[in-house]
Amino acid sequence: MTQACSIVADNYREEREFVPEIPVLSEFFVPEIFLKNGLGVAAIDDGDLIGFLCGFGPIDNQFGDVKGVFSPLHGHGAIQSDRKKIYSLLYSYAAKIWVKKEIFSHSIALYAHDNGGITSFFQNGFGMRCIDAIRSFDPISTPCLKECSYYEITTEKVEDIVPLNNALILHMHQSPIFMPIKHRNQAEIVKDVKEGLFRYFCAFKDGTIIGYMKVGGSGENFISRHNSMVNICGAYLLPEYRGQGIASQLLSYILSQMQREGYDSVGVDFESINPQAREFWLRFFTPYTNSLVRRIDERSTTTSID
């Protein structure tokens, strides 16, 4: 376990050389559950751990109607030397275990600048699905072509968010994303706001909400949960107002507010398969993770062919 944590720490420090905005961390861990679910593998060279691959699972209905496994940033790692080959061998052994257990959806989060790891999994049939990105509070200089106002709403205004939220969900169902998400009603969103899970910052035109960004205290990886970081977890702007600098101005307002509240950085996670999100967020944020997925044909087996 100590050697695994050391590899996780080294991999993190490598990424921080490319993305200094991610927080300085002094402690790293590998969850004990990864050692107990029978899904992990390790690479040993002359008694030393040189790589490992494990994760959460089996997960029911992961990206479809099959079981899945997900290896987060702290669920795998490999030394820098020959990393591409190490990951390929690790996945070869792990995938055999997973498919034998009828786990056909495989996913992993990798550091965005880990070229060896990313290349290894791409060559093993994975494709990109999600991105985590981060930025500091450097000002955004984007002119706005419409006169709008921007501020955070309270629970009294949540009803005005529901149609926009459901429009976002409908967008996620469509090509090329094809991501089914359940519609949320007003009571569910009000509950999130009251419990402090999310905050909604909105763009107003003539007193009407035309767009929003949802801000939460934590994202979906251990880095984004650091208390120096706040995360944008969703956004939508009515189509007729796009391309006019409104979303950029709303983001600028959020950055100013979060800086006043004492945060050091702002993160965002989004689907790389969402062209509109990808184009907008990558203009302002630097990626620090790429999440990759592979779906195994469930007709496959690991038995020999007679």
* pLDDT (tens digit per residue) in 132-176: 999 999 888 777 767 899 999 988 888 889 999 999 999 999 999
Share of the chain above pLDDT 70, in %: 95
- pLDDT value of position 303: 59
The C-alpha torsion from 20 through 23 and 27 to 31, rounded to 10°, is -100
- What distance, in Å, lies between the first and last C-alpha atoms of the chain? 41
Identity of the amino acid at 217: G
Does position 33 have pLDDT exceeding 90, yes or no?
no
How much is the pTM? 0.92
Does position 189 have pLDDT exceeding 90, yes or no?
no
* pLDDT (tens digit per residue) in 56-105: 989 998 888 899 999 999 999 999 999 999 999 999 999 999 999 999 99
* pLDDT (tens digit per residue) in 200-246: 999 999 999 999 999 986 666 889 888 899 999 999 999 999 999 99
All domains in the chain, ordered by first residue: 1-129 (3.40.630.30), 148-283 (3.40.630.30)
DSSP letter, residue 21: T
The pLDDT-based confidence of 305 (bands split at 50, 70, 90) is very low
Q: Average pLDDT over the chain, rounded to whole?
A: 91
CA–CA separation, 216 and 235 (whole Å): 12
Does position 294 have pLDDT exceeding 90, yes or no?
yes
Which among 250, 277, 246, 249 is positioned nearest to 171, based on CA atoms? Answer: 277
